[in-house]
Amino acid sequence: MTVSDTDPRDPLRSGEGGAPGPSNGPVAGFRDVLPLLRPYRVPLGIAFFLGTLGTAAGAVQPLVVSRMVDTFQSGLPLGEAALLVVLLLVSAVLTGVRELVIERTGERFAYDSRERLVKHLYSLPMARLDFRDRADLVTRVTTDVSETRTFLTSGLIDLAISTITVLISLVMMALIDPVLLGLSFVAVLVVFVVVLALGRKTRPVGLQMQNALGALAESVSRSLGSMKTVRAARAVGRESDKAMAMASEVRRAGLRAAGLRALLQTVSGVAVQVLLIVIVGFGALRVASGELTTGELSAFIMYLMLMVTPIAMVGNVVASLGEAFGALARILEIKSEPTEPDIQTANSSILAGHADEVFRFEDVSFRYDRPTSSVPDTTELTLSSVSFSVARGETVALVGPSGAGKSTLFSLLERFYEPTDGRILFHGQDVMELSRDKLRKQLAYVDQDAVVLSGNVRENLMLADTEATDTECIDALRQVGLVQDREEGRRYLEKQIGEMGMRLSGGQRQRLAIARALLSGNPVLLLDEATSNLDSRNEALIRDALDLSAIDRTTLVIAHRFSTVVSADKIIVLDMGRVIAQGTHHELIQSCELYNELAKHQFLSGHAEKT
Ligand SMILES: Nc1ncnc2c1ncn2[C@@H]1O[C@H](COP(=O)(O)OP(=O)(O)OP(=O)(O)O)[C@@H](O)[C@H]1O
């Protein structure tokens, strides 16, 4: 089981699996917030406590000022002035420490959220990732977490402290003049109700905004990822228009959010001003009639002012609620997707019992299901009742027309997907009962696209074996003909290869991917058209390297080169997801019409004619 699957401490864990909601799905709310904040309750509690102390220190200040005003006639109020300075200093220090605690907690929250989200994303089943856009997922890990962090830490504490400040001010004002307070209370209540009502409207707009941002990232990354194709197809204008359409969507949602925010801030600002004017006017009347002293009115007004900032703050926090809850909903949506279940049981070790048979496919059928669908999928099977076996040390070639299901077979071997029916045995054990990690430790896989990662050559090689020394890396590079000697090898290891290996030729990328597989030393090699871009000299070199590298090595190769196919111990012919024949080249030439056709047209025809 993966960490995020089971970890009860995971605050972003929501629900137990189930289908993911659509990205415009339910908006998150306060009910989702408490479990998220539970792990940070101590520092947040401290921040709240410090904030309350700071508020209390601030709340005493109007009383001191009131005494100063009323005792001015009888002499200089030096004692009160000194007390005021001390109170100012105390509130300043408390505010500073509180901010530090909040910000540090915020960073911890963001880090923890990202860690859990990244782990969760990395363990989602391939079938689910196939339906997700990568750039949108990246936005969830970056921008959405930042939005959530700001609101859930500083925003909420500010909200709580603002409420306390308002309450303390109200109490102090009640002590000074309950009549004036009654008036203030009604006015403040009206402001709160209006602000909260407007705030609710911002939530769906916030979700729209975050989704539009995700779609924009998706569109830009799509074009940047295939810029050569886009330019060659003279589609730069169209692609940038598409990106700009997404940017307009962001702008539309942003404008709607801005409108609501402006309305909120205006309403709260105007309400506060009206409140002040009414209270000052009414208070002046009460001083004139002798029911209040000037000092008391000063204190009352100061308490009112003390309330103004928090009320405005509440307006701001409520205005940012929409975006924060929108971002949170997008994070929770991913977290609600079940991760790839894995097995860590005692019997998950690879048994060496069936020494001679490495793989056996028993009536394996497979369909690429739509992951969110709850109704049975009616799409065609990609593989149907596939059965074959591979013995230790054998080289088995998979051949067949494009789309026959050859790469899909490799994906099942790697357990990227699970068979819909039938079993795949590895050394006699059902792969479903093996830990993916242990199974993959036995396999060295070279993808059809010879995937290499941005970074340098060394990083790419060490992806397979983190302990590999430079000498081992250089040996692997020499085996595939990428370098001739150690000196060149040392320089080559530092070479930056660009995103997706853009700074390498197609053949160099393939050789690097094969070098990585060789370096891993894993006993079963899965090569998916891994030498298609190589010239015949380099292809022969790689064939020798593969032959030499391990006598016991079992190789499954999806091949279209005649030389690779003809020398295989066994050839499996696939057509439309079915195994239609298997045998050696000479057997198949006699017995399989499709194989004959492939040999004529698909394999290198020059060689084919020599047979
Ligand atoms: N991730 C996927 N999701 C849905 N369908 C897929 C996915 N990958 C492949 N397919 C479909 O499965 C079928 C078999 O694809 P596969 O890549 O296994 O064929 P192949 O024999 O390796 O073809 P080629 O020689 O062209 O690489 C194709 O119809 C393809 O469209």
CA of 402 to the centre of ligand 1 (A): 8
User: Which residues, in sequence order, are bridge partners of residue 430?
Assistant: 425
Residue 28 pLDDT: 67
Residue range 555-561: mean pLDDT, rounded: 84
All CATH 1.20.1560.10 domain ranges in the chain, comma separated:
12-335
Residue 15 pLDDT: 36
Select from 368, 372, 527, 532 the residue to mutate for testing ligand 1; criterion: most ligand atoms less than 8 Å from CB.
368
Per-residue pLDDT reduced to its tens digit, 430-467: 998 888 888 888 898 888 776 777 778 888 888 877 88
Select from 408, 417, 448, 572 the residue to mutate for testing ligand 1; criterion: most ligand atoms less than 8 Å from CB.
408
Task: Name the band, by pLDDT with cuts 50, 70 and 90, for residue 1.
Answer: very low
Residue range 573-590: mean pLDDT, rounded: 92
Residue 320 pLDDT: 73
Lowest-confidence range among 28-37, 291-300, 536-545? 536-545
Task: Report whether CATH 3.30.70.1060 matches the domain 346-610.
Answer: no
Judge whether residue 207 has pLDDT over 90.
no
CA of 608 to the centre of ligand 1 (A): 26
Residue 117 pLDDT: 93
N- to C-terminal Cα distance for the chain? Answer: 52
Q: Which of 115-124, 155-164, 349-358, 503-512 has the highest mean pLDDT?
A: 115-124
Residue 122 neighbours by CB under 8 Å, 6+ apart:
none
Q: What is the mean pLDDT of the chain?
A: 80
Residue 458 in contact with ligand 1 by CB distance below 6 A: no
Task: Name the band, by pLDDT with cuts 50, 70 and 90, for residue 109.
Answer: very high
CA of 556 to the centre of ligand 1 (A): 17
CA of 577 to the centre of ligand 1 (A): 10
Judge whether residue 268 has pLDDT over 90.
no
Name which residue sits closest to atom 25 of ligand 1, judged by CA: 402
Residue 248, both tokens: 């307009």
Residue 605 pLDDT: 43
590 against 450, higher pLDDT: 590
**What percent of the chain has a predicted confidence (pLDDT) above 90?**
18
Residue 73 pLDDT: 66
Name which residue sits closest to atom 28 of ligand 1, judged by CA: 403
Residue 304 pLDDT: 82
Residue 407 in contact with ligand 1 by CB distance below 6 A: yes
Give the side-chain half-sphere CA count within 13 A for 67. 12
Judge whether residue 24 has pLDDT over 60.
no
Task: Name the band, by pLDDT with cuts 50, 70 and 90, for residue 553.
Answer: confident
CA of 419 to the centre of ligand 1 (A): 15
Per-residue pLDDT reduced to its tens digit, 47-71: 999 988 988 888 888 888 888 877 7
Residue 551 pLDDT: 60
ipTM: 0.96
Task: Name the band, by pLDDT with cuts 50, 70 and 90, for residue 235.
Answer: confident
Q: Specify the CATH number for 12-335; select among 3.10.290.10, 3.40.120.10, 1.20.1560.10, 3.40.630.30.
A: 1.20.1560.10
All CATH 3.40.50.300 domain ranges in the chain, comma separated:
346-610
Three-class HEC string of 329-371 = HHHHHHHCCCCCCCCCCHHHCCCCCCCCEEEEEEEEEECCCCC
CB 394 within 8 A of CB 360: no
CA of 378 to the centre of ligand 1 (A): 17
Residue range 6-11: mean pLDDT, rounded: 39
Name which residue sits closest to atom 29 of ligand 1, judged by CA: 403
Residue 544 in contact with ligand 1 by CB distance below 6 A: no
Query: Distances in Å between the alpha carbon of 494 and those of 406, 453, 455, 479, 487?
Result: 35, 14, 9, 18, 12
Residue 542 neighbours by CB under 8 Å, 6+ apart:
480, 481, 511, 514, 531, 534
Residue 400 in contact with ligand 1 by CB distance below 6 A: yes
581 against 308, higher pLDDT: 581
Residues 62 and 69: their CA atoms lie apart, in Å, by 10
Residue 228 pLDDT: 65
Residue 389 in contact with ligand 1 by CB distance below 6 A: no
